[in-house]
Amino acid sequence: MSVQRRSRSRVVMLAALSLGVLATSASRADAPAPPDPLPLAWCLERAAQANPEIAAKQAEAEAAARRVRPAGSLEDPRLAYTAMNIPVSAWELDASPMSGNQIELRQKLPFPGLLGNREAAARAAAEASGEEVRDQRLRVAAAVERSWAALGFAQRALEITDSNIELLRQIAKIAEVKYRVGAGLQQDVMRAQVELTLRLGERLRRVATLRAQEARLSALLDLSIANPLPRTETLRDTVPLPDLDLLLERLPETSPRLQAFAKQVVEEERAQRAVQLEGYPDFDLGIGYRLRNAVQGDPVSGDDFLSAGLTIRLPIDRGKWRDRIAERDALLRRAKASQRGALAQLRDDVRATYADLQRADAAVALFETGLLPQARESLESSRSGYEVDKVDFLSLLDSQIKLLNAEFGLVRAVTDRRVAFAALEGAVGEALR
């Protein structure tokens, strides 16, 4: 390939890529701007409309629904034409009383019940696909809430980091003032500067995490990442925990995933019955009409002929049908085993998620009523004591770090509760808030 041709190929590729980028940018530019503050409800609605995984599942369900009617329908009738009984010596249709133009219509009739079971199997498959759409919506909603909560945590973690940087700057100034008047140590000033530098480095990591969470949520919502997302609404969720035993008891009724497995079992049962019925004879009915010419010596003076026939398929290879039935038996056992496995897995997921919720609730209560107020009081006391030389600088820094950890711990616990609740709703298949 010449240099000129390679150059033209590169130009064409770049133009195609540019058009693709422009088309994607245009579609995302048409998306509505997210409100400020960013509510979870808006994100869920946007994902339900724009998420491609949901659209793919919906297309699969529509295709499955279109298979129901054909599965229960008869095969199309067949129309045949035959030039009947033409003498080889004459090659004429009026050379013999038996010659004529025959038109025949034939229809295949399966064994009774076969089409009904095929249609029932296809309908069960379509219903299973519909349940899979519901399950996919729940999965996407849980993913959106997890990402929304992670974004909220990243935003608040950055705010806490900024607040603590400001506190460290104040502490550093106090240490510098004490050092200048001869009441403090130079090493205290150095320690304050080192701690401040560490917090500034931490801030850079917090900003990077925030940008990553914005990109992740924007991808789920099919939004452009050119503009930062607004600050999320409050992450606090005070809805009381539901009853675990009731959730587990109602799980087979509420979970679309289990409903889909149940429909798949019905599909396999109907398909098995259809294969059993395929082992019985089916029939081919036909009716023919022969157009004849009047020929000398014809006892019926050229009257047209009407005929009817019946063809029966004889399923004499019983081994073949036994193998097909055994195959459907195995597939039915697999469907039932998958149903039992899904139920056991979901029950385990619900129990584990419920334990995460209880742990998050306990952590929120611990931080709100104990650790955070104590850390604030300790920092205030240490700061006052340091100013009058009753507390050393290391104790002051330790109090500040404990406050930072307590603030992070509370936001983390609140976020974990939100994420666990979303996972619980996705597992049980219904809204609990």
390 in Cβ contact with 382 (< 8 Å): no
89-142 pLDDT, tens per residue? 777 777 777 788 899 999 999 999 999 999 999 999 999 999 999 999 999 999
Task: Kindly state whether residue 139 falls inside one of the protein's structural domains.
Answer: yes
How would residue 297 be classed by pLDDT, with cut points 50, 70 and 90?
A: confident
> By percentage, how much of the chain surpasses pLDDT 70?
92
Model pLDDT for residues 280-293, shown as the tens digit of each residue? 999 999 999 988 87
Pairing mode of beta strands 78-84, 283-291: unpaired
Domain contains 133: yes
Which tokens is 16 given?
């195609």
- Split at pLDDT 50, 70, 90, the class of 2 is very low
Any domain includes 83:
no
Residue 82 lies in a domain: no
Q: In 3-state terms, what secondary structure has residue 415?
A: helix
d(CA 324, CA 332): 12
Residue 1 has pLDDT above 50, yes or no: no
Position 431: which residue type? A
The domain in which residue 165 lies consists of 34-74+110-280+315-428
Give residue-wise pLDDT tens across range 35-93. 889 999 999 999 998 888 899 999 999 999 999 999 999 999 999 998 888 887 777 77
**What does the pLDDT look like over 203-244, one tens digit per residue?**
999 999 999 999 999 988 888 777 778 999 999 988 899 999
> Does residue 202 fall inside a structural domain?
yes
SS3 109: strand
> What is the CATH classification number for the domain harbouring 270?
1.20.1600.10
Q: How many CB atoms lie within 10 A of CB 164?
A: 21
Domain-embedded: residue 366: yes
What is the share, in percent, of the chain residues with pLDDT greater than 90? 56
Residue 307 token pair: 């005929």
- Tell me: pLDDT of 6 over 80: no
Cβ–Cβ < 8 Å for 175, 194: no
**Structural domain contains residue 91:** no
Q: In this structure, are residues 140 and 425 in contact, taking their beta carbons and an 8 Å threshold?
A: no
* Burial of 126 from C-beta contacts in 10 A (0-12 / 13-18 / 19+): buried
Token couple for 286? 């036909």
Give the Cα separation of 421 and 381 in Å (integer): 38
Domain count along the chain: 1
CA–CA gap between residue 225 and residue 219 (Å, rounded): 8
Contacts from 180-186 at CB under 8 Å and sequence distance 24+? 183/389, 184/393, 185/393
**Bridge partners for 306 per DSSP:** 289
In this structure, are residues 97 and 85 in contact, taking their beta carbons and an 8 Å threshold? no
Instruction: Name residues whose C-beta falls within 8 Å of residue 355's C-beta, 6 or more positions apart in sequence.
Output: none
Locate 423 and state its tokens: 């996972």
Q: What pLDDT score was predicted for residue 208?
A: 94
pLDDT value of residue 17: 33
Asked if residue 173 belongs to a domain, the reply is: yes
- Is the model's pLDDT at 10 over the cut of 50? no
